[in-house]
Amino acid sequence: MSDLVQSAKKAAAYAAVDDHIKSGYIVGIGSGSTVVFAVDRLAERVRNENLKVKCIPTSFQARQLIIDNKLTLTDLDVDPVLDVCIDGADEVDSNMTLIKGGGGCLLQEKIVASNAKKLIIIADYTKDSQKLGDQYKKGIPIEVVPIAYVPISNKIKERFGGSLELRMAVKKAGPVVTDNGNFVLDWTNFNQDSDWEKVNSELLHIPGLVETGLFIKMASKAYFGLKDGSVKQKGTCSAQA
Ligand SMILES: O=C(CO)[C@H](O)[C@H](O)COP(=O)(O)O
């Protein structure tokens, strides 16, 4: 990954943490490489400003980040309502519809985000698109119960077209297994002009399909780090709103 992209991720993450996290907050910690910068900044603010925050992870990776940075860990049993969730995205379209799940953590990410008063997205400039699929070519991740991956692939192809591929592991023989023990299908060559809300609700009716990486009407704001070091904001909610 280029230095420019890395700096862009960092700039977006720092700006979002500075604008949206206050002492006393319950904070959702997303997953992926951009979130690493957000946790760095949050830990720095906890040390320097004596900020009191409790963090809810969206994945095994996020839990490790919280622990490694000596932040306070909590969960939805103890704190079922979050003030804010900060997470990355694979792509953000002009309606603030997201593709998430490039790291395979979509299910817990969606659960945690859906219990947050606001979801703030942090990303580099390569994620800012007009339509889903403009820049992100790896497809829409779909988490499925393992025994159902073939019929689910067939049903999606028949109903909506495109191609589905079972995501394979890199340092393990066989498929990626999510934090929840499921498989991930990556859906490519979909119709970019789809009504994503309708598609998403139809997908969620397929037995065995656990969750989709389509996040619709969930994100309040997206911060994109740009090549020149500045940060572009997309979406409506104001800082600390
Ligand atoms: O949804 C995710 C993981 O499941 C990530 O937030 C998404 O893949 C973006 O990751 P990165 O910050 O590494 O670009």
pLDDT digits (tens, 9 = 90+) for 17-70: 999 999 999 999 999 999 999 999 999 999 999 999 999 999 999 999 999 999
Q: Is the CB of 16 under 6 A from ligand 1?
A: no
User: In terms of domains, do 222 and 208 share one?
Assistant: no
Under the banding of pLDDT at 50, 70 and 90, the label for residue 222 is very high
Identify which of 54, 127, 79, 96 has the alpha carbon closest to the alpha carbon of residue 219.
96
User: In terms of domains, do 64 and 147 share one?
Assistant: no
User: In terms of domains, do 104 and 148 share one?
Assistant: no
User: In terms of domains, do 206 and 221 share one?
Assistant: no
At CA 81, angle to CA 108 and CA 140, rounded to 5? 25
Token reading at 184: 């991930």
User: In terms of domains, do 115 and 222 share one?
Assistant: yes
The answer to whether the complex's ipTM is over 0.90 is yes
Q: Is the CB of 119 under 6 A from ligand 1?
A: no
Where in the sequence is the domain holding 155, given as residue range(s)? 140-212
User: Which uninterrupted H or E stretch holds 15?
Assistant: helix 3-20
Q: Whose CA is nearest to atom 2 of ligand 1?
A: 101
User: In terms of domains, do 125 and 25 share one?
Assistant: yes
For tokens 């994109």, name the residue.
224
User: In terms of domains, do 7 and 124 share one?
Assistant: yes
Phi, psi for 223 (deg, rounded to 5): -110, 125
- Which CATH number goes with the domain that contains 124? 3.40.50.1360
pLDDT in tens, 177-188: 999 999 999 999
**E strand residue ranges, the chain:** 26-29, 54-57, 72-73, 84-87, 91-92, 98-99, 119-124, 140-144, 163-166, 183-188, 209-212, 214-215, 219-225, 231-235
Phi, psi for 51 (deg, rounded to 5): -65, 135
Q: Can you give the pLDDT at residue 240?
A: 53
Residue 240 inside a domain? The answer is no
User: In terms of domains, do 33 and 82 share one?
Assistant: yes
Residue 241 inside a domain? The answer is no
Ramachandran bin of 13, using left for φ above 0, alpha for ψ from -120 to 50, beta for the remaining angles: alpha
**Å from CA of 109 to ligand 1 middle:** 10
Yes or no: say if 132 and 155 are a contact pair by the CB < 8 Å rule.
no
- CA distance readout (Å), 7 to 17, 42, 125, 212: 15, 17, 11, 29
Q: Can you give the pLDDT at residue 239?
A: 58
User: In terms of domains, do 63 and 10 share one?
Assistant: yes
State the chain's maximal CA–CA distance in angstroms. 55
Under the banding of pLDDT at 50, 70 and 90, the label for residue 1 is confident
Identify which of 48, 46, 44, 125 has the alpha carbon closest to the alpha carbon of residue 91.
125
Q: Is the CB of 133 under 6 A from ligand 1?
A: no
Q: What span, in angstroms and rounded, lies between the C-alpha atoms of 30 and 119?
A: 10
Read off the pLDDT of each residue in 5-13 and give the average, rounded to a whole number: 98
User: In terms of domains, do 90 and 160 share one?
Assistant: no
Q: Is the CB of 141 under 6 A from ligand 1?
A: no
Of the residues 109, 158, 165, 197, only one is catalytic, namely: 109
- CA distance readout (Å), 185 to 37, 101, 232: 28, 10, 31
Q: What span, in angstroms and rounded, lies between the C-alpha atoms of 106 and 2?
A: 25
Read off the pLDDT of each residue in 130-135 and give the average, rounded to a whole number: 98
Q: Whose CA is nearest to atom 7 of ligand 1?
A: 89
User: In terms of domains, do 116 and 23 share one?
Assistant: yes
Q: Indicate the number of domains in the chain.
A: 2
Which residues on adjacent β-strands are paired with residue 213?
Answer: none
Q: What span, in angstroms and rounded, lies between the C-alpha atoms of 141 and 183?
A: 10
**Å from CA of 96 to ligand 1 middle:** 16
What pTM value is reported for the model?
0.96
pLDDT in tens, 70-80: 999 999 999 99
